[in-house]
């Protein structure tokens, strides 16, 4: 197509011209530190979550290092209107996780406040979640969770403000006896996921697992 010649697809990391369906070139793909976690077993993300809330399983696709390819990818996804990156990240996730007989009942992405979503134009987790739902044949519910307050991104808050957050999230409908897989982009302190997990756990006899695109140190 003319657009492919005039505006060729380029690697997010090094700007080499690549196939239109790809996200990064092979050289940059080899630089990504994938976690290689066992979703059903023990790993460092699960251990960190255990300190905050009861959890069934946990998985991080990549490590979120400074000046890394993974950081560039997620920055493009969140702030450069490249929502479709979520589809490729979902493909990478699907290549690495098999749920087998322990498949969650619902996929639920961390919500943005409506004001922030209108400003950004999209929730960076929706395409990722929807693609995973299609791969695994698991229903997703973007509106199961509600963010009640408009605030700065977690990364821009200091530790004190993070810990002071209360009633930030709520459940929009009755849900019980469900295994819910919470989906977020980056695990940093775990504060956001913890607040949501406790709301889900308080709502009924539910179980919570966590899936993130990347885990910070």
Tokens of 147: 């963010």
Q: State CA 67 to chain mean position distance.
A: 19
Residue 166: the pLDDT is 63
Show the domain range for 21. Answer: 1-31
Residues 51 and 153 in one domain: yes
Residues 85 and 4 in one domain: no
* Cα R_g (the chain), whole angstroms: 17
Q: Residue 178: which CATH number? A: 3.40.50.2020
Q: Is pLDDT at 82 greater than 60 in this prediction?
A: yes
Residues 27 and 37 in one domain: no
Residue 3: the pLDDT is 42
Q: Which of 161, 200, 177 is nearest to 53 (CA)?
A: 200
Q: Which residues pair with 107 in a beta bridge?
A: 140, 181
How high does pLDDT run on average in the chain? 90
Residue 150: the pLDDT is 77
- Torsion of Cα atoms, 100 then 105 then 110 then 112, to 10°: 140
Look at the chain and report how many structural domains it folds into.
2
Residues 24 and 52 in one domain: no
Tokens of 45: 């993300």
Residues 130 and 187 in one domain: yes
Residue 217: the pLDDT is 77
Tokens of 118: 């209108």
Residues 66 and 111 in one domain: yes
Q: What is the mean pLDDT of residues 65-81?
A: 93
Q: Phi first, then psi: give them for residue 125, nearest 5 degrees.
A: -95, -15
Residues 181 and 75 in one domain: yes
Tokens of 59: 């998985």
Residue 179: the pLDDT is 98
Residues 18 and 69 in one domain: no
């Amino acid at each position: 197509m003319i657009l492919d010649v005039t505006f060729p697809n380029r690697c997010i990391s090094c700007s080499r011209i690549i196939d239109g369906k790809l996200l990064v070139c092979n050289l940059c793909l080899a630089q990504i530190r994938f976690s290689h976690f066992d979703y059903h077993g023990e790993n460092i993300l699960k251990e960190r979550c255990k300190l905050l809330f009861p959890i069934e399983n946990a998985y991080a696709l990549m490590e979120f290092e400074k000046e890394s390819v993974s950081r560039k990818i997620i920055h493009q996804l969140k702030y450069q209107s490249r929502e479709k990156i979520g589809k490729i990240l979902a493909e990478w996730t699907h290549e690495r996780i098999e749920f087998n007989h322990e498949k969650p009942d619902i996929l639920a992405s961390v919500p943005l406040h409506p004001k922030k979503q209108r400003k950004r134009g999209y929730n960076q987790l929706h395409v990722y979640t929807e693609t995973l739902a299609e791969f695994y044949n698991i229903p997703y519910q973007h509106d199961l969770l509600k963010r009640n307050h408009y605030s700065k991104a977690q990364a821009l808050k200091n530790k004190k403000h993070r810990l002071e957050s209360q009633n930030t999230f709520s459940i929009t409908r009755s849900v019980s006896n469900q295994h819910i897989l919470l989906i977020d982009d980056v695990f940093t302190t775990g504060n956001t996921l913890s607040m949501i997990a406790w709301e889900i756990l308080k709502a009924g006899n539910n179980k919570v697992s966590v899936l993130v695109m990347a885990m910070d140190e």
